[in-house]
Structure 1
């Protein structure tokens, strides 16, 4: 294949103009420049953008999924992008060869659909929840995985053309897992590459009612959309038990079960259950789709 051309998408709500500008400056410093850069402002006026950066102003907040789908469409219109790199608006590329290494990885393996970056704070620390595997004790261990991090990653545009974009209904929470499962079922690979770093401020693990509700609702939708019928109750039952064991907030549990009920009642989009060979492949990679 020819050298993959990189496009960059950043989703913002206009509340971090300083951080956004620093991120765009770090994008501009890449040794292998991005072919296109688009900033999507979700339900707010666009901030001032550097020359050469496209801006899309959405009249309402469409969530992470809707905003990123808008970015995909904008880059698709440009027609000269093979890889989409999504970056959080308060992140920072601390190395100047990130796009070069991303393109190298995809060029070396045409079936590589997704590359997950490592998220690290300014001290280099990576939280366990930012390692996309069950055994998260060593954040520097890369390789094939079954999901990826939303804050920094690359997506093959060819893959997106085949499996579709982000699950619009989700708004936020578990959208990466939904895309990852569809990618794996279509025969694409996902790689966690810890040497590709997006510096990101360390965030508090504190949760709120909306987070609990959306997490539970989308967990149900994830199963209903993607899992073979026998695995749906196993997956959801596992997460009910884990949530009860882990959650110390009564209000949080109440919101979680409210979201769970919502996920059971409301439509979740088209159901396309993965094949059993995908289940076996995920199991071989260390994360069967029941947890």
Structure 2
């Protein structure tokens, strides 16, 4: 990693939140360390109505280069993000790690907002000081500054301000080391929605990288339920099975699935959701899960010492 890592930004949108996206772009433009590149990926949207003037006109001092990538189909969140990540990774720049235009990539939900102006500065500092830092997870908070328990990437979620090494991160706001991505690969695009963060996090940990939760880096995000998505129950169950089949040592697969079947049934409040969940579980069993590359037992022990063994 260079002494002053260059920061790129990837934002995926379906074009359904134009005001929120405009506000997010404005918050990116206000950062006291400007991004080297910003990539806007339109999942099944043209991006014709999205203005990037807020980031500065090309050729003006401090302007950020913005690339719009409209897609004709919806690739899902991980698939759309992969398009932006691959563009920055393979951009043919002059990075120290063998090509590409940036050293660190910040990914942000299109309905999120950076409320501080020094987020990129702190991200750059932390990656510059620790060459084995692979992922920084931001703290997600609503408009009143409250962080829900499910937004805290650890089992003991009572104190959202306790940072440090963790085994997971939130997809809404985070930063990736580009050298890490070159080593472990990008998002599992076939997941489409749900648990793609776990797949990437487990690969990062198995590759020897650190995941760090930094609660002082805040992404403001409205309080929403993941169940608002029609595919939530089906993809949640299917992707958990795929995740286990791809990444866990064989003895842990039935343990992991047993734990999550129990938790899902205890939490289920909808007959429709129950049917969709079991349909997704069956789909995860009978369909190809992708390349199997289980984590080492050393990684299992590392995750256990960090407070979250890979069966929870």
What's the TM-score, normalizing by structure 2?
A: 0.91
Q: In structure 2, how many angstroms separate the alpha carbons of the residues matched to 1:28 and 1:195?
A: 19
Gaps of 5+ in 2: 58-64, 92-99
Which secondary structure does the structure 2 equivalent of 1:191 belong to? strand
C-alpha separation between the residues in 1 aligned to 2:175 and 2:50? 25
Aligned positions, number: 291
Cα distance in 1, alignment partners of residues 278 and 170 from structure 2: 25
The residue number in structure 2 matching 1:73 is 86
Number of the residue aligned with 2:175? 154
For residue 179 of structure 1, what is the aligned residue in structure 2?
200
| TM-superposed deviation, 1:2 | 2.4
Residue 42 in structure 1 maps to residue 43 in structure 2? yes
| 1:209 CA displacement | 5.0
Instruction: Identify which range, 263-272 or 205-214, moves more after superposition.
Output: 205-214
Match of 2:77 in 1: 64
For 2:66, the equivalent position in structure 1 comes to 53
* Aligned-partner SS, 1:53: strand
SS of residue paired to 1:272: coil
Q: Is the 8 A contact 2:14 2:42 kept in 1?
A: yes
Conservation of the 8 A alpha-carbon contact between 1:208 and 1:252: no
Residues 43 and 58 in structure 1, CA contact (< 8 A), matched pair in contact too: yes
Of 280-289 and 197-206, more deviation after overlay is shown by 197-206
Q: Take 2:37 and 2:182, find their aligned partners in 1: how far apart are those partners? A: 18
CA distances 1:150-194 after superposition (whole Å, capped 9, x unpaired): 000000110000000000110010000000000000000000000
Contact 1:225/1:269 (CA < 8 Å) preserved in 2? Answer: yes
Question: What are the residue-to-residue correspondences of 1:46-195 with 2, within 5 Å?
Answer: 46=47, 47-50=49-52, 51=57, 52-78=65-91, 79-195=100-216
Which residue is 2:7 aligned to?
6
Q: 1:217·1:263 contact (CA, 8 Å) conserved in 2?
A: yes
Q: Which aligned pairs between 1:196-211 and structure 2 lie closer than 5 A?
A: 196-204=217-225, 206-207=227-228, 210-211=231-232
Runs (5+) with no aligned partner, structure 1: none
Q: In the alignment, what sits opposite 2:34?
A: 33
> How does the TM-score come out when normalised to structure 1?
0.98
TM-aligned CA distance change 1:28 to 1:127, over 3 Å: same
Residue 201 of structure 1 deviates from its aligned partner by 1.1
SS of the equivalent of 2:145 reads coil
- CA RMSD, aligned part only? 1.1
Whole-Å Cα distance in 2 between the matches of residues 205 and 237 of structure 1?
22
Deviation of 1:206 (Å):
4.6
| Separation (CA, whole Å) in 2 of partners of 1:241 and 1:275 | 26
